[in-house]
Amino acid sequence: MRASPAQSLWPFLAFGALLLLAFPASATPTFESARCVFPVPRGERATCGFVAVPAHREGMRGRDIRLYVAVLHSQAPSPLPDPVIFLNGGPGDAAFGEDADTWWQASRPIRAARDFIVFDQRGVGQSRPSLDCPELDRIADRNWKPGLSRAEILAMERPAAAACHDRLTRGGIDLSAYTTAEAAADVDDIAAALNYESYNLIGVSYGSRVALAVMRDFPDRVRSTVLDSVYPPGIFDLDTQPALIARVFRRLFEDCKADTDCETEYPLLGPRFDGMLAQLRAAPETIRHGRKSIRVDDGIVLDALYAAFYDPTTLADLPGLTDKVARGDLAALTPWIGPVFSGGPNRAEGLALSVACSESWPFATRDALAASVAAAEPYGGDAAYALEWQSCESWHVPPISAVDAVAVSSTVPTLLLTGSFDPITPPEYAYIAAQTLTNGRVIEFRAGSHSLLTTEACAPQLVARFIEAPTAPLDEFCPNRTLGPRFTTAGLADQPPSAAAATTEARSP
């Protein structure tokens, strides 16, 4: 006897009910007001609070995560309905550290028309639970002294990272929940909790990877995107880090050689500097640092100069400083010899390791690292001492899925900003990402470094114009962006490092 339509449908309806029980629909995210943890300037308004999101969307397992969110309100009487959501870098950098007032300045042109939303990503800063590792912070606070080698630092950090892992997991934290894909879903949940139907994105450094994941997973919700210092999926940089370090040094030497004044003042700068590095590797020297004597080898020199590339205001003077080092004046480096620990007060190291151990380490090999170090000679040797090589095997997080490791294809209007002297997310990354973005356009700052929005004075206006009209010409903004650095003949020996270069945190996107 033939079954009735209702009887034929019953097995499928029953199976659907079982699926609903197994994977219950998530509740609509809500916003819970809380105190703002940063100063609100006179004449400005901010609304702060928490949005609860699932630890894992798939299966809705694990306890909820609370994201700390701040809405910097528009100055417009009737703001446009699609805000800008800002995605910070790292991974693991807190959005509300000592420089939280940066957001007010950088967002002012945008807030002429729209709200500007900043939040601490899952595991970071004011969000709960925290994946901060005070075990690593204490190593940096208590043990730094000038002249420590990367190998010595790593020997202290390895057991501290293991202690942090054990403490977090004993506390019931599922480290596998801290992925870029889940962070992208967090963005959409924040918008829903604040009753925004569509939004614009600005992602800086690692935040650009999160922004790309949002574009992939929630394409109908994103109106426009700005990717600053682009770090696209599919870039597994743990074993290519030596090449990144070598790239900026070689770029500096090439640009100096092409500049008549620089080449005249500092002839054969690259070969002379390389010769000094070889000398220091064979026979480290001792210099005075305040009242102390410190041992300086090639690694100490490279770390100090590499840090300076993060600050674009120092770029013009770098040939002069490098020349002093090449001539044996190592004392000129003393203001730039600083900590290179993984720990730091504004960084959630547990989140950084969770992302790196699922997104970079599974795809990296020691053989590839060795080949990269050899090709980057004499610049990239210190990259072999990254904490991930020692910690990821016992961090116990699964590798990302295949879809999370491929280039994002999207028709969302996208502006990609990149600096020619960016030491960690080079221009090549922006051009790679743009290949699959139908409406993407790359703007390269020839004398720019990392995080253009906060280091190039013209960038906030450029970004605001793009978000206002994503297809409009942008040629009138930042007209000097195509000009290379104008090198000076004065070094940096008497200038203290700026906040951009002097940091206790590890260099990461």
Give whole-number Cα distances, 318 to 39, 118, 257, in Å. 36, 34, 13
More confident residue, 9 or 321: 321
d(CA 186, CA 202): 15
d(CA 227, CA 215): 11
> Is residue 396 over pLDDT 70?
yes
> Is residue 20 over pLDDT 60?
no
d(CA 90, CA 65): 19
Backbone φ, ψ for residue 187 (5° rounding):
-60, -45
> Is residue 501 over pLDDT 60?
no
User: Which of 407, 376, 3 has its CA nearest to residue 209?
Assistant: 407
d(CA 242, CA 342): 17
d(CA 181, CA 177): 9
> Is residue 425 over pLDDT 80?
yes
> Is residue 298 over pLDDT 60?
yes
Say what the pLDDT of residue 168 is. Answer: 98
50-54, 276-280, 341-345: segment of lowest average pLDDT = 341-345
181-185, 309-313, 348-352: segment of lowest average pLDDT = 309-313
Say what the pLDDT of residue 395 is. Answer: 97
For 447-460, what is the mean pLDDT? 95
Q: Could you tell me the pLDDT band of residue 60, with boundaries at 50, 70 and 90?
A: low
> Is residue 17 over pLDDT 50?
no
Q: Confirm if 447 and 421 have CB atoms less than 8 A apart.
A: yes
Please state the length of the chain: 509
Say what the pLDDT of residue 454 is. Answer: 92
Q: What is the CATH number of domain 32-131+171-235+402-482?
A: 3.40.50.1820
> Is residue 498 over pLDDT 70?
no
Q: Could you tell me the pLDDT band of residue 292, with boundaries at 50, 70 and 90?
A: confident
State which H helix or E strand residue 39 sits in: none
> Is residue 255 over pLDDT 90?
yes
What is the per-residue pLDDT across 135-193, written as a single tens digit (0 to 9) for each? Answer: 999 998 888 888 888 999 999 999 999 999 999 999 999 999 999 999 999 999 999 99
Say what the pLDDT of residue 236 is. Answer: 87
Residue spans of the domains in the chain: they are 32-131+171-235+402-482, 135-167+343-394, 246-336
d(CA 263, CA 251): 14
> Is residue 274 over pLDDT 60?
yes
For 87-91, what is the mean pLDDT? 94
Q: Could you tell me the pLDDT band of residue 447, with boundaries at 50, 70 and 90?
A: very high
For 376-380, what is the mean pLDDT? 94
Q: Which residues on neighbouring strands pair with residue 72, listed in sequence order?
A: 46, 116
> Is residue 3 over pLDDT 50?
no
> Is residue 15 over pLDDT 60?
no
Residues 6 or more apart from 352 whose CB is under 8 A from it?
Answer: 90, 91, 92, 342, 506, 508
Mean pLDDT over the full length of the chain: 89
> Is residue 63 over pLDDT 80?
no
Say what the pLDDT of residue 490 is. Answer: 56
